[in-house]
Amino acid sequence: MSVLVNKDSKVIIQGFTGSEGTFHATQMIEYGTHVVGGVTPGKGGSEHLGLPVFNSVSDAVQQVGADVSAIFVPPPFAGDAIMEAAEAGVKVIVTITEGIPTADMVRVKSFIEGKGIRLVGPNCPGVITAEECKVGIMPGFVFKKGRIGVVSKSGTLTYEAADQIVKAGLGISTAIGIGGDPIIGTTTKEAVELFMNDPETDAVIMIGEIGGTMEADAARWIKEHATKPVVGFIAGQTAPKGRRMGHAGAIIGGKDDTAAAKMAIMRECGIHVVESPADLGATVVKALAN
């Protein structure tokens, strides 16, 4: 078992023939991901990277059984691309696109609600099940197979966490980059729940940042329901109030949005909190030993 994607996932790329879609589809294929084709309206019936191109996601689902989509569609059209994939029955939709208008994501969230669809992102690095399947832009060589799950708002800190885990002699089950926009599909709490229910994950690293309540919500759920150790880190410890730091959602709006406040809540809920991402690997090792 794995979380969200595995070697059997049938992946399509929306925005397949564009420069971003082409580059990252090539990387995904080289990693071993079972990419079965892509979607570019108007180019259906052609081939790209030796794979079929479809006019619609519905065609891809019907003809090659696609069940996972990676979206590299430009921001003005990405919301519609997500809803097209959802309407076609794709169960895992990983949206890499950055800069999707918030109003579009409000519509997307409403549209997919109750459909049994897992949206990851937008503005995220994607999902990787180590040495099986990469959906997104993560550098695959960093991720070695193991039993530690990672959920992160930050792409680069996802890679740093993976590197720390590998250097500590452990490895990754699945890493989920949830994205840092104000409105995203999968929350920190939901990702942690997936790992708690995964028999191939022994511990979880949870990386958050300033702004919003996702980490606090996850921490309170962990306090009540966790069956595995969780190690946490919050980025933005020196961020000033009211200034956006990196991600659109990374802005301190009140006293509970600060890194210090989030770290305090996490500690109170039994999470092993580190002050620096350099300590993630060693702290996981200690948490597993206790």
Domain boundary among 120, 147, 179: 120
Same domain, 42 and 174: no
The CATH number covering residue 202 comes to 3.40.50.261
Catalytic residues: 247
What's the rounded Cα separation, in Å, for the pair 63 and 69? 15
| CA separation, residue 6 to residues 64, 86, 196, 238 (Å) | 17, 20, 17, 38
Instruction: Identify whether the C-beta of residue 216 lies closer than 8 Å to the C-beta of residue 267.
Output: no
This prediction's pTM: 0.95
**What's the rounded Cα separation, in Å, for the pair 39 and 1?**
28
Radius of gyration over every alpha carbon of the chain, rounded to an integer in angstroms: 18
Distance CA 255, CA 32 (A): 45
Of 106, 152, 104, 97, give the one whose Cα is nearest residue 128.
152
CB 248 within 8 A of CB 180: yes
Mean pLDDT (10-residue bins), the chain, 290 residues: 90 98 98 98 98 98 98 98 98 97 97 96 97 98 97 94 96 96 95 98 96 92 98 81 56 69 96 96 96
Please check whether residue 180 is in contact with residue 247, taking contact to mean a CB–CB distance below 8 angstroms: yes
175 with 267, same domain: the answer is yes
259 shares a domain with 157: yes
pLDDT digits 0-9 by tens, 179-209: 989 899 999 999 999 999 999 999 999 999 9
The residue range of the domain holding 187 is: 139-289
- The domain that holds 111 is classified in CATH as 3.40.50.720
Give the pair of three-digit tokens for residue 120. Answer: 């990851």
Instruction: Give dist(CA 120, CA 175) in Å, integer.
Output: 12
- Kindly state whether residues 29 and 150 are assigned to the same domain: no
My answer on whether 110 and 220 are in the same domain is: no
Whole-number pLDDT of residue 236: 80
pLDDT at residue 51 in the model: 98
Look at the chain and report how many structural domains it folds into.
2
120, 148, 168 - which closes a domain:
120
* Cα atoms in the 13 Å half-sphere on the side-chain side of 158: 29
Answer for the pair 181, 244: CB distance below 8 angstroms, yes or no.
no
